[in-house]
Amino acid sequence: MELDARKKEILYAIIENYQESGEPVGSRTISKLEGLSFSPATIRNEMADLEEMGLIVQPHTSAGRVPTDKGYRLYVDKMLAERENGREVSRELPALPMQELLSKRIDRVEEMLLKMAQVLAANTNYTAMVTGPRSRGSKLKFLQLSPLDKGRILAVVVLSGDIVKNNILSLDEDISSQELMDLNFILNKGLTGLSLEEINLSVIAELKSEAGAHTEVVSKVLDAVAETFAKEDSYPVYTSGAPNIFRYPELTGGDKASELISTLEEKKTLGSAIGSLSTEGGSQQDIQVYIGEEVPVDSMKDCSVVTATYSLGDGVQGKIGIIGPKRMNYQKVVDTLKETMSHLDGIFLNTED
């Protein structure tokens, strides 16, 4: 059976009406929509064909139809193709305070990512999640050793992407401010620009040789560097808007709501699942949409997840995701993510300059 233009038009009308109402859509409802000139009988026949093709389903006897995952996929692919081809899709977005948020200098990446999740959740009325930045190719950006009190120093380790870890190191020796400055120079000269794999035995031996009597300090600083790389590999996940799922009855029936909330609270599992979603296409700004069974989390099979990948430079990346019902407003979510990525690019390009 062919999916001709008329069937597509009726399918898209069903999806858009169901997005707004959350109620199964009948032929009479479709026949009253502006821009459609088909009779109720014609619409009923086409809806029967669409159901046979697995694009819509009748959830209850004598009820209207709702889209299936397959129907949503067809609709979403059409929408994304229109954007790819440069066709403008109407947008009715509320003001997004992302530009104001990102225009303010935020020294901690974690704070910025948390605020981003909060703004996205408030703007879309869905749940937002942002994974912290990570990269297997991270390199040491710089070290800063500072005196605290007798027998203790502060070692600040910064990786590419401005991933920072503060370490308080206890020493069995006293070290003067001048000696600490000398060690700062030695360590930065020997380690800056290296990945964890590149800090090998010969590099360590040379550092200890140059450090002279302060090999203990070098060993403890290297341990702090290794811990920072390990922290970067287990990136955090920031979520906001979990209560928004209660807005959508299809996500709250039975144990669905509690299972979803539990999933959102298990941030490590959630981050791994969303972070593992493939990114097809060449651009890191590509928006990816995962519908129902395509989402690799059992408790989220009634959801859709829309993701984008952000970059902090130097190959350091993370994921932004919007989680909502399958009848989510895909156009609004995609536009919101596009706008967010545009602001992020601007802020990080300016930072690099």
Q: Is 75 inside a domain boundary? A: no
Q: How many angstroms from the chain centroid is the CA of residue 329?
A: 18
pLDDT for the residue numbered 104: 52
Residues 256, 343 share a domain: yes
Q: Give which of 68, 89, 71 is closest to 80, Cα–Cα.
A: 89
Question: Over pLDDT 70: what percentage of the chain?
Answer: 82
Q: What is the pTM of this model?
A: 0.70
- Structure tokens, 343: 């602001």
* Model pLDDT, residue 101: 56
pLDDT in tens, 79-97: 988 877 765 554 444 445 5
Q: Tokens 């800056």, residue?
A: 192
pLDDT band, residue 330 (cuts 50/70/90): very high
Q: Is 219 in the same domain as 160?
A: yes
Count structural domains, the chain. Answer: 3
What's 107's domain CATH number?
Answer: 3.30.450.40
Which of 36-40, 168-172, 182-186, 349-353 has the highest mean predicted lDDT (pLDDT)? 182-186
Same domain? 126 vs 151 = no
Phi, psi for 3 (deg, rounded to 5): -90, 85
Say yes or no: 145 and 287 in one domain. Answer: no
Q: Does 340 lie in the same domain as 219?
A: no
**Structure-token pair, residue 131:** 């994974």
Domain shared by 326 and 185, yes or no: no
Helix (H) / strand (E) element for 103: namely: helix 98-103
Please, which residues have CB within 8 angstroms of residue 212's CB and are 6 or more apart in sequence? none
Range of the domain at 276: 98-133+236-352
| 332 & 240 share domain | yes
Tell me what the pLDDT averaged over the chain comes to.
82
In a domain, 258, yes or no: yes
Instruction: Find all residues with CB under 8 Å of 266, minimum gap 6, and list them.
Output: none
* Listed residue (138, 211, 206) closest to 173, CA to CA: 211
